[in-house]
Amino acid sequence: MQNSLWLAGIEKLTLNKLSTSLNCDVCIVGGGLTGIYTAYLLAKKGVNVVLLEGNSSVGIATTGHSTGKLTPQHDAVFSKLLGAFSEDEARIYYDANVSAIEAALQNASIDLYQKVDSYVFATTEQGKKTLDDEAEAYKTLKIPGYETLETELPFDVLSSINLPNTFQIHPTNFALHYAKLAIKEGANLYVNSRVTKVAIDEKAVYVDDDLQVSFNHLVLATHYPIEAVKGLQLAKLSVERSYLTATKTSEMLKGQYISVDTPSRTIRTALINNQPYFIYGGSSHKAGTIEDTQSYYEVLQNEVVSKFDLSKPEFLWSAQDPDTADSLPYVGPITENEPNVYIATGYRKWGLSNSLVAGEIITSAILKEPHPASDIYNPARNQFGSTMLRMLNLIGFTVANLADGYITRLDAPKCTHLGCRTRWNDGDETWDCPCHGSRFDKFGNVIEGPAVYPLDLKS
């Protein structure tokens, strides 16, 4: 089993398991940064909030497997957005991320974050073309980045764009900090409390099938929404898996980097107990479709040694990210008919700053206050052409993999979400579902939804 650098020696936050049924104004399902930050913002406004996390701690699942980059530079997203949205809408996305980051850092002590420059770079001609378009988009949107060939990287780049004054964090410690603030403001956080049923008509969720939490508003902050079928997110989200490594190094970088080449590479450093670590990752594929994931780690490990002259990484972990067809997350009411049920998903590998934006949007909606980014993040937005194409592809893929899909692996257990065949992931020692990204440990326990029940490994 692989190990995230962020989970090594973290401070423990002791939280209880839900032991009795209860009522609340807002029930949040999921204890990653989205759920925690939303709980904090709502509790600060005096709202009665209950947060339910299925794992043994908050901030350790998706958040604890991220890169820890807190930046509005989301690879080459702005040229993509200008292809699908207006200039005003693309600028709103940038502004929303900048202001959400600034607001969240105001309540975080200086030891919880570092100011760095963010670079997106290319080492191939194809990547350079992508960055030429991205540099134009920066000019159009008046984003304060600039092109440069000077980086700290030990190889030449053909192009790069530096966006100064961005941040990096220890994602789990940052989430735990906000969990403590949320509790201080009166939010009730529970761990080991897995929601197994969402009964929207009853305005209740069920934990472990018997305890009931009744709500006025429900926030599904589970990364991949467990009630996704309602808003057809099942057919709109594709899930990508990518890989990360960390190894001891002697000095910290002043920047954090991501390439737009194929395969992409992400680079940053982190100081853990006064020891600098070099974090290097990349290479993504559709989640649940690759059995030999160990080879992805091996490629990264070899590059750390050969390109950066460091020793073989001691931390290896992978991350999973739902992606939307138009590159913007889905944050807001799950359908227009269920305005009191909210989702936050589709962060496309940029979940830390988007978690903070999501917390603000959902809090504003519940408090009936406007938020400048609520329309562009609305899950009901209509990007008809690209979204329909995505839906047809994903529905076709799911149908092909239901129950008896993987003919060569009929011995693989069926996913407890909708019955697709899972695949064994040898690098992480998990059962991964190719249809909507559910993951299970080697004993069949749920690591990541939308599935909520463990695998039956005996049948």
Residues within the interface to ligand FES (CB under 6 A) = 415, 417-420, 433, 435-438, 450-451
Shortest Cβ distance from residue 347 to ligand FES (Å)?
18
Residue type, 391: M
Burial 321-334 (b: 16+ CB within 10 A, else e): bbbbbbbbbbbbbb
Shortest Cβ distance from residue 349 to ligand FES (Å)?
19
By beta-carbon proximity to ligand FES, the closer residue of 80 and 423 is: 423
Shortest Cβ distance from residue 224 to ligand FES (Å)?
8
By beta-carbon proximity to ligand FES, the closer residue of 35 and 288 is: 288
Could you tell me the CA-to-CA distances from 230 to 1, 137, 177, 324, 341 in Å, in that order? 34, 35, 33, 16, 10
Q: Is 303 exposed, middle or buried (0-12, 13-18, 19+ CB in 10 A)?
A: middle
Could you tell me the CA-to-CA distances from 446 to 83, 101, 196, 416, 421 in Å, in that order? 38, 31, 11, 9, 15
Shortest Cβ distance from residue 212 to ligand FES (Å)?
25
By beta-carbon proximity to ligand FES, the closer residue of 194 and 265 is: 194
Phi, psi of 418 (to 5 degrees): -130, 10
By beta-carbon proximity to ligand FES, the closer residue of 182 and 451 is: 451
Shortest Cβ distance from residue 27 to ligand FES (Å)?
23
Token pair 């969990």 is at which residue?
179
By beta-carbon proximity to ligand FES, the closer residue of 276 and 419 is: 419
Closest CA relative to residue 318, chosen from 344, 291, 292, 282: 282
Shortest Cβ distance from residue 287 to ligand FES (Å)?
9
By beta-carbon proximity to ligand FES, the closer residue of 181 and 420 is: 420
Q: What is the largest CA-CA distance in the chain?
A: 60
Phi, psi of 383 (to 5 degrees): -110, 70
